[in-house]
Structure 1
Amino acid sequence: MRRDAAAGYAIWSSAAAPVLLIGGWTVAAALQPAASLQRDGYDSLRDTISALAGYGATDRWVMTLALLGVGICHLVTARGLRPIATPARVMLAVGGAATVAVAALPLPVAGTSGAHQAAATLAFACLALWPALWRHAGGRLPRPPATVMIPATLAMVALVLLFTVALGTGRLVGLAERLASGAEAVWPLATVLLLRRPAMHAALLG
């Protein structure tokens, strides 16, 4: 196995993360009760992903398991990203661990949870910033991956800031969170594919 390519299992773990996240919030949202005179229904544009795993949600186990799976996938992917330097891999792994903590620290039926907010903040920050620490493990900055890692970081940071603004205004919070978390879940897969492209090309050429 080439040392300048990501480990084969990283393809599966990085591909599973967005599937689990998007599939989890889609299924969990569909399981929530419809709006009634007594309460509003769940609105994916308005309400957070965390609410689907909170103690007040119906079938909260669906989103809880999805978040747990996403966190584990990031941990596995971080281990398989061998060509990049340790700081980037560690930050991705911390983001994965923080995502596991988000699942383990659900929101209460009413109000907020400081521990949950801290875990979510750490997860969002690490999963947005880890590409900025990209360096080839040998010290080089290979292309083309190097040309997209910083722009990707800036894009994800912008989406996280958009989510922060949405939280402050109370408008389209769910949509902003899904855009930010979805981008963060997809980028490890994009990175793995970029790293493995030379190896795939060589294999195709025989």
Structure 2
Amino acid sequence: MLRLSLLATGLLLLQPAMARQDDRNQPIHVVHADSFDGYNQPNTISTFKGSVLINQGTMKLIGDIAKIYTAKEDTSVDHIVVTGTPQKRPHIEQIDDNGNLMTGDADQLYYDNVNGVAILTGTAYVHQQNKGDARGAKLTYNTQTGYMVGESGGAGQVTMTFLPKQKPLPPPKHGAPATPPAPAKPAPSPSAPASASSASKE
């Protein structure tokens, strides 16, 4: 199995200093669901169905079905599993400490609330605003540090795109806006017929 650590070369997509540090300390809210079954007890599963939206600070989990698993010793959230449909796959997003938006899509999202780790499986895709993106059969993303690992799952490959650093445009000369040079006029074709004026002189 091909396993590629995405930490090299400047921590690739996400640098620890830019990851979100405080989302995991925020309460988890089920903002919307069409139906719900379960109860708030230790070591239980609550199932939410239909246009589910869950948030925790700046992080959002979106999908068709979400199962919330509570801890064995209390009613805190241990982990969440989000699934969807081929037409509407599970989605995660988070804003880092520099205001950049991270988004991810996969066939299934597993969010480990204890460690702040999101695992995207099944044609997974993660995009980091102003930095780049990654694709693989499985992408594991730490929502606190930005560390990410990609796996191919034995089929296909892990791919990444790095965006270049945007360089500022040079200032215009003498305070006037820079204008592109006028295109040069094409030279006349050798096979072109002589003009009427030149023909009359012969």
TM-score, scaled relative to structure 1 = 0.20
Q: Higher relative CO (CA 8 A, sep ≥ 6), structure 1 or 2?
A: 1
TM-score, scaled relative to structure 2 = 0.20
